[in-house]
Amino acid sequence: MAELASNHSQAPHFEASGLQTPSTEQNNIEAAETYSQHLVPTEELFDPAKSTGTELLDKGFGQHGCSHYQRRCRIRAPCCDEIFDCRHCHNEAKNSIHVDQKFRHDIPRHQIKQVICSLCGTEQEVRQICVNCGVCMGRYFCGSCNLYDDDDTSKKQYHCDGCGICRIGGQENFFHCNKCRCCFSILLKDDHPCVEGAMHHDCPICFEYLFETRNDVSVMRCGHTMHRSCLDEMKEHSQYACPLCCKSVCDMSKVWERLDMDVAATPMPENYRNKMVRILCNDCGLSSEAKYHIIGQKCPNCKSYNTRLR
């Protein structure tokens, strides 16, 4: 389209030798017909669809969408045949507490077949360019996930074949772990404990499904995952153990040193001073014997106080 506009912007050129001076009325008519055959039709010269193609594609940019995506189309849900701005809008509406529990459901994103252009209202099969008005319905478009998004610069979307869905953050910054079956930061490529289906479960704090979450996810030292905001909130309440396996979520060596001083400053009564108990360390997983203390029992193997009585 851009090439056509460029070609039409130049005036037609004719060689002088190709034209003869007419001497009669008939010759005038024939010369006019010959000349008109060389001219580019007027409607092609000023066709706005060809001369302003970029403007047409960007028409309505940033003016449509929802709280989840900037986009210039809506979707028809294949599950309930209703129209929504995006799949998240559908899921929020259909899983509301005001909806009968037996009717609650999520949209099968890969089964979406129809979209509606937000500018002209034309319903059509999933595609990036509207078949009627020619507008681009999303600068980022994934035909596998049926995803449209006009914010293609800050999000840096990409489609992961391993996950089967689109991710954000730039493909160069992530890698797909086949055992964990999800994408992790490239910084963890050679330094993360593999857990089968690490993100294919709900966040243990807020119970949102982690694999499809739009919020940041943290990978703990044990390999389990949870929302970063949930982990930060947990730390604010002085909870430093994984809710799934009870292992410490961060380096606790400084805390163990402080507990050593607290234990030394708090002698036990004579009857309990030499009492030995069996403990299980949540950090190293070993069972052992340790002196009983009201503050806590220290693992003789890894020096952790993250232990429990057996």
Partnered with residue 176 across adjacent β-strands are 183
What's the pLDDT score for residue 54? 80
What's the pLDDT score for residue 14? 34
Contact 281, 304 (CB under 8 A): yes
Contact 78, 87 (CB under 8 A): no
Q: What is the pTM of this model?
A: 0.67
Given a cut of 70, the residues of the chain with pLDDT beneath it are 1-52
What's the pLDDT score for residue 163? 93
What's the pLDDT score for residue 225? 94
Q: What residue spans define the domains of the chain?
A: 2-51, 73-149, 158-236, 253-309
What's the pLDDT score for residue 38? 39
Task: Tell me how far apart the alpha carbons of residues 203 and 226 are, in angstroms, rounded to a whole number.
Answer: 5
What's the pLDDT score for residue 153? 80
The fold of 253-309 is Rubrerythrin, domain 2 (2.20.28)
What's the pLDDT score for residue 299? 95
What's the pLDDT score for residue 191? 82
What's the pLDDT score for residue 52? 55
